[in-house]
């Protein structure tokens, strides 16, 4: 289809374009002569009149492909018909459709220009009819007809332009929605890579530092660090491969993703941080399955908080507390890092806090993060839980 006018890519018209012309053609054939019975000053419709009626009706088959040609042919047929003195009749029914076809497919300025030319030609032919009739009500009738005809033409332009604007708005809205969906997916993937791969790379870097530190005096510890690096590297590569598969997969297909992590994986996460040199104390109050979106968000916030402890705090110990209430899950991570005179956060830590806060707020929750006066850093996330089925509001 033509992007500007919605025209068929090939051919002048299709069979579907006849659905409007045929009824108007039938009405014209059977209604033109009876219409002249009460118009004593009109010329009796002969074969030429029927030819002009046919031309006006069949011009509408081009309305989608060549709306300007439709309007020109229709206007010429109507003007000739009226100019020759044939009765006002069904041929005039084709005019609103021809004007509408131009208004719905062309910019408003061009549509008004074409419609104005159409009106001028057809109105002039009709007024000539009134003047030629030489009856007492000639000028009053001509004025009334010209005014009514102007309303018909202007109304068709207004309706067609309104429909065109609405369709363009719908197209723009769909395009904006598609762009927003792409942007949301990019942000999701960026957050996922930051949370998973970034965390795993931080653990690898820390383990590599540990291995270098004890390289000459503790071969067993070096071996443990290298094994941790190998396991973490594999997990990181698996996560990266999954996200890349999502990018490569066509939109019509669904790319497989690794199972979402949740609070059931806390022990593995904590053990990984411990091997990096941070002693983590864990306390979990309450139990039971969580909604998947809350479970994932709580895990990612905990993961990012512990990663920041590992990378930025200089702390050797951290406390994790997870409390589940009836309507909220609270995740808190506190480290015992040294007190800092400069209260500003490292840039990468600030990025992580923004990501954690975005996750909490997406669920209608809150996240507080900041340095403690006595030293260290604290993160507290409160994630609301949906009401249980059958519970009172």
pLDDT, one tens digit per residue, over 103-125 is: 999 999 999 999 999 999 999 88
If you average pLDDT over residues 144-165, what whole number do you get?
91
Q: What is the pLDDT of residue 272?
A: 78
**How does DSSP assign 179-248, residue by residue?**
HHHHHHHHHHHHHHHHHHHHHHHHHHHHHHHHHHHTTTT-HHHHHHHHHHHHHHHHHHHHHHHHHHHHHH
Residue 189 counted as domain residue: no
> Do 23 and 146 belong to one domain?
yes
Would you give the distance in Å from CA 207 to the centre of its chain?
Answer: 44
If you average pLDDT over residues 193-199, what whole number do you get?
66
Q: What is the pLDDT of residue 144?
A: 80
Q: Which domain holds residue 140?
A: 15-177
> Do 26 and 154 belong to one domain?
yes
Q: What is the pLDDT of residue 343?
A: 47
Q: Which of 142, 177, 212 is the last residue of a domain?
A: 177
Give the predicted TM-score (pTM) of the model: 0.54
Q: Are 83 and 128 in contact (CB under 8 A)?
A: yes
When divided into structural domains, the chain yields a total of 2
User: What span, in angstroms and rounded, lies between the C-alpha atoms of 273 and 204?
Assistant: 10
> Do 162 and 280 belong to one domain?
no
Q: Which is higher by pLDDT, 237 or 293?
A: 293
If you average pLDDT over residues 149-153, what whole number do you get?
92
If you average pLDDT over residues 338-365, what whole number do you get?
69
Relative orientation angle of helices 347-362 and 292-308, to the nearest 10 degrees: 170
Residue 231 counted as domain residue: no
- β-pair partners for 329: 324, 383
Residue 199 counted as domain residue: no
> Do 26 and 151 belong to one domain?
yes
Q: What is the pLDDT of residue 9?
A: 42
Q: Are 275 and 207 in contact (CB under 8 A)?
A: yes
Q: What is the pLDDT of residue 42?
A: 77
Q: What is the pLDDT of residue 354?
A: 83
Q: What is the pLDDT of residue 347?
A: 46
Chain-wide mean pLDDT for the chain? Answer: 79
pLDDT band at 3 (very low <50, low <70, confident <90, very high): very low
Q: Which of 143, 177, 211 is the last residue of a domain?
A: 177
Within a 10 A sphere around the Cβ of 235, how many other Cβ atoms? 18
Residue 254 counted as domain residue: no
pLDDT band at 239 (very low <50, low <70, confident <90, very high): low
Q: Which of 115, 142, 177 is the last residue of a domain?
A: 177
Q: What is the pLDDT of residue 341?
A: 42
User: What span, in angstroms and rounded, lies between the C-alpha atoms of 127 and 105?
Assistant: 30
Q: Are 152 and 159 in contact (CB under 8 A)?
A: no
Residue 164 counted as domain residue: yes
CATH number at residue 333: 3.30.565.10
Q: What angle do CA 385, 386, 388 make, to 5 degrees?
A: 110
Which residue in 165, 74, 156 sits closest to 118, CA to CA? 74
Res 176 pLDDT > 70: yes
Res 290 pLDDT > 60: yes
Res 245 pLDDT > 80: no
């Amino acid at each position: 289809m033509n992007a500007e006018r919605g025209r068929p890519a090939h051919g002048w018209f299709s069979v579907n374009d006849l659905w409007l012309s045929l009824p108007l053609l039938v009405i014209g054939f059977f209604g033109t002569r009876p219409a002249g019975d009460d118009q004593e000053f009109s010329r009796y419709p002969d074969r030429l009149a029927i030819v002009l009626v046919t031309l006006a009706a069949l011009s509408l088959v081009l309305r989608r492909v060549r709306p300007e040609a439709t309007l020109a042919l229709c206007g010429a047929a109507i003007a000739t018909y009226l100019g020759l003195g044939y009765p006002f009749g069904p041929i005039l029914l084709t005019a609103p459709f021809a004007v509408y076809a131009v208004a719905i497919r062309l910019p408003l300025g061009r549509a008004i220009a074409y419609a104005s030319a159409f009106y001028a030609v057809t109105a002039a032919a009709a007024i000539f009819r009134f003047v030629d009739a030489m009856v007492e009500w000639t000028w009053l009738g001509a004025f009334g007809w010209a005014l009514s005809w102007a309303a018909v033409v202007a109304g068709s332009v207004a309706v067609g332009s309104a429909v065109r604007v609405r369709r363009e708005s719908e197209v723009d809205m769909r395009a904006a929605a598609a762009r927003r969906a792409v942007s949301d997916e990019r942000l999701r993937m960026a957050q996922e890579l930051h949370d998973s791969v970034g965390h795993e790379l931080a653990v690898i870097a820390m383990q590599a530092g540990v291995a270098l530190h004890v390289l000459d005096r503790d071969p067993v510890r070096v071996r443990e660090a290298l094994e941790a690096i190998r396991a973490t590297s594999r997990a990181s590569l698996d996560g990266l491969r999954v996200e890349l598969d999502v990018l490569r997969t066509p939109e019509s297909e669904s790319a497989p993703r690794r199972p979402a992590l949740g609070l059931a994986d806390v022990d593995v996460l904590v053990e990984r941080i411990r091997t990096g040199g941070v002693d983590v104390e864990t306390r979990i109050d309450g139990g039971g399955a969580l909604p998947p979106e809350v479970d994932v968000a709580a895990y990612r916030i905990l993961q990012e908080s512990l990663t920041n402890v590992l990378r930025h705090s200089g702390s050797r110990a951290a406390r994790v507390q997870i409390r589940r209430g009836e309507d909220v899950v609270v995740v808190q991570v506190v480290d015992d890092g040294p007190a800092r005179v400069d209260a500003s956060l490292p840039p990468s830590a600030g990025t992580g806090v923004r990501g954690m806060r975005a996750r909490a707020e997406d669920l209608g929750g809150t996240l507080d993060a900041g340095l403690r006066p006595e030293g260290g850093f604290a993160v507290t996330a409160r994630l609301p839980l949906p009401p249980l089925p059958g519970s009172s509001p």
